[in-house]
Structures are given as C-alpha cells and as structure tokens.
Amino acid sequence: MHHGSADKADRAAQITPPIVASSPWSVSSVKALPEFRLAVSFRDGTQGVVDMASFINSPAAGVFACLRDREFFERVFVEYGAVTWPGALDLAPDAMYDAIQAHGDYSLEPFKPD
C-alpha cells in the first residue's frame, strides 16, 4: 500500500487564507515618529497620531520601559490588527481608535492609582 511520496510538500499553507483583522478599529499600518509618537491608520481609513512619550518615560511604564530605546521603539509593526513590538508588547487598538476618531490623536498617559 502506497501512502504518498515523501517529496510532496504540505499544501495546507497554500490553501489556508491568512488571518485578517476585520474590525474597523483594527490597525492597518503604523510608523514610528519623533518624540515617541506613532502614525497609525485603521482598516476603515481613520488615521491619527499616538503620543507615548509621557507613558514610556514614567515610572509606571513597566514592561514598556524598553521602548525608551529609540531603535527598539522604531521596530514597531502591525500584528493581527494591533500595534506591536518584538517580545509580544502591544497596544489595544480599540481605545486608540475611539480617541483618534474623537480628537485626531491619542495620548497614552501613565497609570495613576487613586
């Protein structure tokens, strides 16, 4: 009984479509700007600027403190509709989208406990 040739490639990757985020608040592109800001575009065409400077430079930055390294900050990319950096750092796109739709920009502020 012949079960197939070992030289045949697995064709599943060729027929399985890539995952594409479909929510309007899914980020479609991102670009690092000076002063720890990001230019973002969303799937529905909404565009704006995200200012991360005060958050990144605060004591509350936590795991995001590594973004103070400008070269690392510039390695930003989009993955599954979210702004992402290597090491699984990402920003929730929904709050960013709401603020940009309302004001044209979004400032990520440090967490301030009550």
- Give me the residue spans of the domains in the chain: 23-107
Local structure of 37: helix, strand or coil: strand
End-to-end CA distance of the chain: 71
Q: What is the pLDDT of residue 36?
A: 97
Q: What is the CATH number of domain 23-107?
A: 3.30.2020.10
Beta carbons within 8 Å of 15's beta carbon, 6+ residues apart: none
Which residue ranges in the chain fall short of pLDDT 50? Answer: 5
Q: Are 93 and 76 in contact, with CB atoms under 8 Å apart? A: no
Other beta carbons within 10 Å of 110: 14
Q: pTM for this one?
A: 0.77
Q: What is the pLDDT of residue 23?
A: 73
Rounded CA separation 75/110 (Å)? 22
Mind listing the pLDDT tens digit for each residue in 79-111? 999 999 999 899 989 999 999 999 999 998 887
